[in-house]
Amino acid sequence: MATPAQLGLQNATSPIMEELIAFHDHALMIIFLISSLVLYIISLMLTTKLTHTSTMNAQEIEMIWTILPAIILIMIALPSLRILYMTDEFNKPYLTLKAIGHQWYWSYEYSDYEDLAFDSYITPTYFLEPGEFRLLEVDNRTTLPMEADIRMLITSQDVLHSWAVPSLGVKTDAIPGRLNQAMLASMRPGLFYGQCSEICGSNHSFMPIVLEFIYFQDFEVWASYLYIV
């Protein structure tokens, strides 16, 4: 989850998110390069009394400031497309989990296991235990096995929602009448938080997502005996 006054991306838990963080660093480096160049040129223009009012031919500079931006755009596009295709790779998932958006909660269905489905409502602030996070905790957490490829099928029962977990690099729209597929994989155990990311009504900010990644043997035990507190 994000810490107070955090500006940057959350620490990556999945390989895709690591790639996205590296790509964000790459794109931001290019943004700083162009912005510092423009700022320098603006300050140059503002600090001289010299003028030149009779420019007739600008062929060379036109070539430069067409080709250079084209090269920069290619330098951004190639890694971006590489990651885009990486997110669409299908890796024989260990498990399929359906996440269905409602106003204003998520419900989860583990169709690989018979009858395993539950709703996940936000824990109201006055019910929080010490150490729990305001507006981020839920009554029933989504338990998943770590170090396993998980296929998410995301949809909505009413209006548009979006299922997002920043640490895993996942944000997928939940659209009524449509199943969107996303792949999840966590390299670490632990709790990972997310929030609904598409405006869906008055309680849009109050339908969080909590993923609990545990060892797959413990996950199998949980799925068999439904250890839901």
Binding site for other proteins (CB under 8 A): 12, 18, 21-22, 25-26, 28-30, 32-34, 36-37, 40-41, 44, 48, 50-52, 141, 143, 146-147, 187-191, 212, 214-215, 218-219, 221-222, 227-229
Q: Between residues 158 and 218, which has the closer beta carbon with respect to other proteins?
A: 218
Q: Between residues 47 and 202, which has the closer beta carbon with respect to other proteins?
A: 47
Give Cβ neighbours of residue 183 (< 8 Å, ≥ 6 apart).
16, 87, 89, 90, 91, 93, 149, 150, 151, 152
Please, are residues 142 and 209 in contact by the beta-carbon 8 Å criterion?
Answer: yes
Q: Between residues 13 and 197, which has the closer beta carbon with respect to other proteins?
A: 13
Q: Supply the minimum distance, in Å, between the C-beta of residue 189 and other proteins.
A: 4
The 10 Å Cβ neighbour count of residue 212 is: 16
Q: Supply the minimum distance, in Å, between the C-beta of residue 8 and other proteins.
A: 9
Give Cβ neighbours of residue 111 (< 8 Å, ≥ 6 apart).
96, 98
Please, are residues 147 and 186 in contact by the beta-carbon 8 Å criterion?
Answer: yes
Q: Supply the minimum distance, in Å, between the C-beta of residue 177 and other proteins.
A: 32
